[in-house]
Structure 1
Amino acid sequence: MMRKAAFASVCVAAMALPAAASAADIEVYGQAHLAASYLDNDEDYSAFNLSSNASRLGFRAGHDFLPNLRGLIQIEGQVDFDSNDSDYEVNSRDTFAGLTGDWGLLRVGRFDTPMKILRTRVDFFGNQLGDARNAIGGNSPGARSGFDSRFKNGIAYRTPSINGFTGEIHYSPETDSGSNAADSNDNDAWSASVTFRQGDLYAAAAYERWSFAEDEFEDGDGNTQQFEYDSREAFRLAAYYDLGPVRLAGLYQQAQDPDDDAYGFGVRWSLDSQWALKAQYYALDADDSDYDTNLIALGVDYQVVPELRLYLNYARISNDDEQGREPWTTASTLSGTGEVGHDPQGVALGMIYNF
């Protein structure tokens, strides 16, 4: 309740700011993303659900200190419109302070890594039923599974674009929940990328590495287990190309400790200024083939006005014997059912309102 009260206080304070109170440019923005879904886990569960999918409210401010020095601040928090009981924080999403100019962008705070940004550029079902993260996350326990996270305590520098190329490096001295870094920064992490944009082409490569001080975890049955690895790393390639109204996209990822390969491709065809068809396929080839999975997603988008989009999606995951992925759990208030070795699927009607 304290976190929710603090979030509400910030909202009220921001809306009460008079226009002339500061020389800074101030913006209030957000997204309401709601979906109605019918889900079936191919075992003992099928039901109609409502969910809030990465809905958020945020505040941005900027101030020009010098001709080539602009200060930036952003505070963004998740909002669960379906009245989910879980806590959320004012800074639960991209939250940072920074400086920018023609020399680049420097930020400090909690925000997406360069590795994560690559996937957001090519995932046609991001934050929706069929999100690629439901398939491509690795098989390590807990937070060691995937590479689509935000670094806590992060500092990042992004270069200006030079002949279409942009570089970024992002470091966190401490990714654990504690406020102080462990001895020797045993929980540090870093992520870096090189991006190329020219005309209809986007292409990028990223590398990310996490270190872990903890040597044990509690499994789903409440038993204490030992971690097999003290670090995890991955290399990722992503690209898209526009052929008129058709965008073709693809992603490849190679992870170590454990060794998982993930890959996928998708297509989005804009029929006109409002209607678009989309489809994608993603697969995880695990070190142990019993943990393989693949995802297929099909959808149609309708852009009612620039601020409002409706979509209808179908997604299905096929799991091998020991795998328990479901196509609806990532970036949603929907939870998994815990069944393994089945082929869950779902249909979702969603609304995304940006303001």
Structure 2
Amino acid sequence: MKKTALVLAIALASTTAVQADPVTVYGQLNVSAQSSDEGEGRFSELKSNSSRFGLKGDFELEHGLTLVYQVEWAVDLADVSGGENITSRNQYVGLKGNFGQVRLGRHDTALKDAQGKIDLFSDYEADVKALWRGEVRASDSVTYYTPTYNGFGVHLTYIMEDAADAEDAFSAAVYYGDENLKDSKYYASVAMDSDVAGFDAMRVQAQGKLADVKLGAMYHTQENIVSGLEQDGWLLSAAYPMGKTELKAQYQTLEDDDAVSVGVDYKAGKNTTLFAWYSSFNFDMAAPDRDYLAVGIKHKF
């Protein structure tokens, strides 16, 4: 409870300072009513889908430098209370200038960040992390973004050992275009992890617009550092807008395991989306098949 009260006090204090300093208070509230079957019978539940709030800003310094920071927390609106309700997400401080941008703290790795918006069911049961390794938010990390040149950029992550008997780790990505597909019609990246959370991994991914349809594809390979087990998979996604409504579908594999998802989003307001989706997982012997059906609301502020 003390942890929760402290975080809320910081957020409220920062809100009052918005007029004096370039601080932005932001967040996302995302809750769904869900029918789930994970192999032992169907049940209903409320899910908080990566709901979050945070503070971010920048300050101009001398010699063409700018200080940048972000402090973000996850908050569970559905079924977790007390001291476990609020947990840390990306939290860093850094500098940017003509050399690019350096961030120190807790941050998504280059491989995780490089997927852009290709995963259309991110934050839900069919998030790519359900089948693939590599979705890591690394503590004790140094993140570097190069300046972009003709649409190309590089993202590097160095993860410190944090103990005498541990090993450091690296993640890197080269990307092209705008992941939001606003400044360019295409986005593509190649990314790799080296000994991140016990795995080596590599991804090649791209997304683009064909008429009004957004099409995405990802190829993924991972190797367990200890066991040496290597696994491959791929993902295809498509989204089609119809006025305020967007229809979307996605298929993901890892060896003989796969997941199929379909959904619909309705833009009820500038920052508010009503949604429904269905996801089905088919596992090859290792785990029981499972499926989920959900309806919910997402609001950004």
Structure 1 segments of 4 or more deviating over 6 A?
A: none
**Higher strand residue share:** 2
- Alpha-carbon contact 1:78-1:88 (below 8 Å) kept: no
TM-score, normalising length from structure 1? 0.78
- Cα displacement string for residues 250-299 of structure 1 (whole angstroms, at most 9, x for unaligned residues): 11111122201121101001122x111100000011xxxxxx31000000
- Alpha-carbon contact 1:132-1:295 (below 8 Å) kept: no
1:35 equivalenced with 2:32 (yes/no): yes
Kindly report which structure 2 residues correspond to 1:119-138, keeping only aligned pairs within 5 A, or say none: 119-135=115-131, 137=132
TM-superposed CA distance for 1:102, in Å, is 3.2
Which residue of structure 2 lines up, in the alignment, with residue 226 of structure 1?
Answer: none
Q: Give the secondary-structure state (helix, strand or coil) at the position aligned to 2:61.
A: strand
Kindly report which structure 2 residues correspond to 1:55-70, keeping only aligned pairs within 5 A, or say none: 55-66=51-62, 68-70=64-66
Alpha-carbon distance in 2 for matches of 1:90, 1:192: 29
Which residue of structure 1 lines up, in the alignment, with residue 245 of structure 2?
Answer: 275
Distance 1:345 1:204, change over 3 A: same
Alpha-carbon distance in 1 for matches of 2:120, 2:18: 39
Alpha-carbon distance in 1 for matches of 2:259, 2:51: 24
- Cα displacement string for residues 279-336 of structure 1 (whole angstroms, at most 9, x for unaligned residues): 0000011xxxxxx3100000011111220111110110001112xxxxxxxxxxxxxx
**Paired AA for residue 244 in structure 1:** A
- Alpha-carbon contact 2:2-2:83 (below 8 Å) kept: no
Alpha-carbon distance in 2 for matches of 1:296, 1:313: 11
TM-superposed CA distance for 1:147, in Å, is 0.6
- Alpha-carbon contact 2:151-2:176 (below 8 Å) kept: yes
TM-superposed CA distance for 1:111, in Å, is 1.1
Alpha-carbon distance in 2 for matches of 1:18, 1:121: 30
**Paired AA for residue 281 in structure 1:** Y
Which protein has greater RCO, CA pairs closer than 8 Å, 6+ apart? Answer: 1
Which residue of structure 2 lines up, in the alignment, with residue 289 of structure 1?
Answer: none
**Paired AA for residue 316 in structure 1:** S
Distance 1:88 1:194, change over 3 A: farther
1:297 equivalenced with 2:297 (yes/no): no
**Identity over aligned pairs, percent:** 27
Distance 1:38 1:18, change over 3 A: closer
TM-score, normalising length from structure 2? 0.91
Which residue of structure 1 lines up, in the alignment, with residue 231 of structure 2?
Answer: 260
TM-superposed CA distance for 1:50, in Å, is 0.5
TM-superposed CA distance for 1:151, in Å, is 0.8
Alpha-carbon distance in 2 for matches of 1:130, 1:317: 8
1:158 equivalenced with 2:145 (yes/no): yes
Note the residue ranges of structure 1 that are not aligned, 5 or more in a row: 138-145, 175-180, 213-230, 286-291, 323-339
TM-superposed CA distance for 1:15, in Å, is 2.5
Note the residue ranges of structure 2 that are not aligned, 5 or more in a row: 179-183
Alpha-carbon distance in 2 for matches of 1:35, 1:254: 31
**Paired AA for residue 259 in structure 1:** E
Q: How many residues align?
A: 292
